[in-house]
Amino acid sequence: MIEVTLVEGRQDLERILALQSANLREVVAAEDARREGFVTVAHTLAILEQMHSIAPSVIARDGEHVAGYALVMPVEARTLIPMLEPMFHQFETLLWRGQPLAALPYYVMGQICVAHDYRGQGVFDALYREHRARYASRFALCVTEVATRNTRSMRAHARVGFEVVRTYRDAVDEWAVIAWDWTSA
Ligand SMILES: CC(C)(COP(=O)(O)OP(=O)(O)OC[C@H]1O[C@@H](n2cnc3c(N)ncnc32)[C@H](O)[C@@H]1OP(=O)(O)O)[C@@H](O)C(=O)NCCC(=O)NCCS
């Protein structure tokens, strides 16, 4: 049975890193990346521990196995990953329904991954249900970025309720900034 909870400690974080490393863009074959997606940022255990101390992430466990995870990255964590600084900087320039996005209580969903054998079984939705259950009392908006060529992830995020705020291209990829508004339905 799959259990979806907040991350509980170092072992969870180590297992998250193992799943992450199998899904990094550098190691996923081109055809698999096209069909099933990939992740871009490689975290270290030290960084995940610091993020965890600010706000625990969400994990789906099936016994000893990690079925998936969705990281929580509040704005206070922005200095931990210099590669993401341009993203946070950009958020300061964006509007959400006519208001400056950065003036709203938002956090970043820092990375989501569902293990290969668990895809297409509702784990993605369960991870985001847990995000909302745990964090909607503190935040109005959950914001993230998805490479637009990761069409599977784009589609799954739209299904959950994310809307595209803007798209842009950098040296790495073309990205969609997407947001899920918890103040409306
Ligand atoms: C992306 C990911 C998190 C999605 O989780 P999942 O369990 O596979 O997602 P789901 O099966 O619930 O939803 C996928 C949706 O995309 C659709 N889909 C499947 N393959 C697709 C493809 N190649 N192109 C477009 N849509 C696709 C599915 O039909 C489904 O949409 P629907 O519910 O409207 O029919 C997971 O595949 C994954 O971890 N991939 C590797 C890492 C990754 O890409 N992480 C996201 C980084 S932003």
Work out the pLDDT band at 163, boundaries 50, 70, 90.
very high
Range of the domain at 125: 3-181
Work out the pLDDT band at 18, boundaries 50, 70, 90.
very high
Contacts with 68 (C-beta within 8 Å, 6 or more apart), sequence order: 19, 59, 60, 112, 113, 114, 115, 118, 123, 124, 127
Q: What is the pLDDT of residues 46-68, one digit of tens each?
A: 999 999 999 999 999 999 999 99
- Amino acid at position 181, single letter: D
Residues of the chain above pLDDT 70, percent: 99
CA distance 28 to 127: 23
Look up the CATH number of the domain holding residue 70: 3.40.630.30
pLDDT(185) > 80: no
Q: In what order do the strands lie in the sheet with 174-181?
A: 3-6, 58-62, 65-73, 106-114, 141-147, 174-181, 163-169
Evaluate: CB of 17 within 6 angstroms of ligand 1: no
Average pLDDT, rounded, for the chain: 96
Pocket of ligand 1, candidates 35, 39, 40, 155: which has the most ligand atoms within 8 Å of its Cβ, to mutate? 155
Give the distance (Å) from ligand 1 centre to CA of residue 13. Answer: 23
| pLDDT at position 172 | 87
Rounded average pLDDT over 156-184: 95
The ligand 1 atom nearest the CA atom of 114: 39
The ligand 1 atom nearest the CA atom of 159: 34
Q: Give the orientation angle of helix 10-22 with respect to helix 45-54, to 10 degrees.
A: 130
Nearest alpha carbon, ligand 1 atom 42: 38
Give the distance (Å) from ligand 1 centre to CA of residue 152. Answer: 4
Per the structure, the count of domains in the chain is: 1
Evaluate: CB of 37 within 6 angstroms of ligand 1: yes
The ligand 1 atom nearest the CA atom of 35: 23
The 3-class SS string of the chain reads: CCEEEECCCHHHHHHHHHHHHHCECCCCCHHHHHHHCCECCCCCHHHHHHHHHHCCCEEEEECCEEEEEEEEECHHHHHHCHHHHHHHHHHCCCEECCEEHHHCCEEEEEEEEECHHHCCCCHHHHHHHHHHHHHCCCCCEEEEEEECCCHHHHHHHHHHCCEEEEEEECCCCEEEEEEEECCCC
| pLDDT at position 111 | 98
80 and 11 Cβ atoms separated by less than 8 Å = no
Nearest alpha carbon, ligand 1 atom 11: 120
Q: What is the pLDDT of residues 85-144, one digit of tens each?
A: 999 999 999 999 999 999 999 999 999 999 999 999 999 999 999 999 999 999 999 999
| pLDDT at position 19 | 98
Work out the pLDDT band at 146, boundaries 50, 70, 90.
very high
Longest CA–CA span in the chain (Å) reads 45
Rounded average pLDDT over 30-43: 95
